[in-house]
A and B are shown apart, each in its own frame.
Chain A
Amino acid sequence: MTKTVPHPELAIKKARTKLIIGFIAVTLAINSIILFAGDIQSQNYLGNILRPIVAAVATGLALTVVYRQKVSGIFGRSYACLAGGLVLYFIAEILWGYYSIGLGVEVPFPSLADAFWLAAYAPFGYGLFSLARLHSKFGRMKALAVMSLSVAAFSSYYILQLISVSDLTTPDAATALSISIAYPILDGILLIPALMVILSSGKGYLTSVPWIFVSWMFTAVADSIFGFTAVTSIAGDISVWNLFYNAAYLSMAAGLFWHNRYMIFDAKRATVPHVS
């Protein structure tokens, strides 16, 4: 009796559903640990432990992609840059954790970690724009123009709000405000390819969920909340930004897992027979 193996398209569609469910379950589980930790200090303490862990998972998967795929071609270069950006983010998370848990002090803003977070925009920018050229129909100039204007309008509004609520009495207030403004501008620039890809996604069973671009949406939301709380000196009083950063790292990890599993050619899997 011969055993029939499902067509790869069917198997991949099932795997995609499983990955979506897995992503939601893991995100809820990790964020629940923070949400149900009790007081705000405990929530932020756990957040500072869990964020570097999920960042390490995403970074590990990114480095695996680079190792297996190498760095040539558009995919090779784009994923190498994403990996570079994630390594910088991971270093920043470790520094942040060292301040808050290792030294037991309130993390200054700006801190050395911000230098790594800001430096990561260069490789992330290259990676996201390169991948967006592949995944979205950039020829649609009207959509691109509307998207750019919307992002610019939102960023401008956010920056104005940021300036109006800034607590300028603290030392380094001007530097803190400048860095707080830099984040939404840079996030806004990278939101454009993310939105373009998300809006034109849905086709192609191998590439249908634009995880890496979804991750950038979460990052932008997290940065907006964090920037607002940092300039108003209440960053330590709320912990909701932890949840969005975790979701961002986990959706990046989901995208990298998918790329590793289905987009990089695997001779062993390719020999599996199938029925059309």
Chain B
Amino acid sequence: MKTIKWHLGAHGLFIDSKDQVDIRVLHDHLEQIVGNIADVVMNEIYASLSERNVISVGSIDSSESIVSKIEQLLKGEGREVEGSK
């Protein structure tokens, strides 16, 4: 993972920074760096996000791409944060 982070940094994408990271850009860069392993990493991210968004996961179409699924979960999270303000 450290190697992948370092290469992402070389592409100008710093995932540990406080700035928002576009999930599609992250996927594209990951694919350039590690090919098919990109999907494994994205699935890990989705699994991790799903754990804290159990309600939103139920409304996501399972046939959608992993990137779309993550985007929907993140949008759902954003709405929850706004709603709680």
Q: A21: CB under 8 A from chain B? A: no
Interface size on B, residues (CB 8 A): 18
Assembled-state Cα–Cα distance A92/B41 (Å): 38
B39-70 residues at the A interface, CB under 8 angstroms: 39-40
Q: Mark B1-24, 1 if CB is under 8 A from A, else 0.
A: 011101100111000000000000
Q: A22: CB under 8 A from chain B? A: no
Contact A206 B10 (CB under 8 A): no
A203-B31, A265-B6 known; A276+B11 contact, CB < 8 A: yes
Which of chain B's residues have a CB closer than 8 A to the CB of A274?
10
Contact B10 A203 (CB under 8 A): no
Contact B7 A206 (CB under 8 A): yes
A204-B36, A204-B38 known; A262+B10 contact, CB < 8 A: no
Interface of B is mostly: helix
Interface size on A, residues (CB 8 A): 24
Shortest Cβ distance from residue A69 to the other chain B in the assembled complex, whole angstroms? 11
Contact A276 B6 (CB under 8 A): no
Q: Which B residues form the contact surface with A (CB < 8 A)?
A: 2-4, 6-7, 10-12, 31-40
Q: Which A residues form the contact surface with B (CB < 8 A)?
A: 7-9, 133-137, 200-208, 262-265, 270, 274, 276
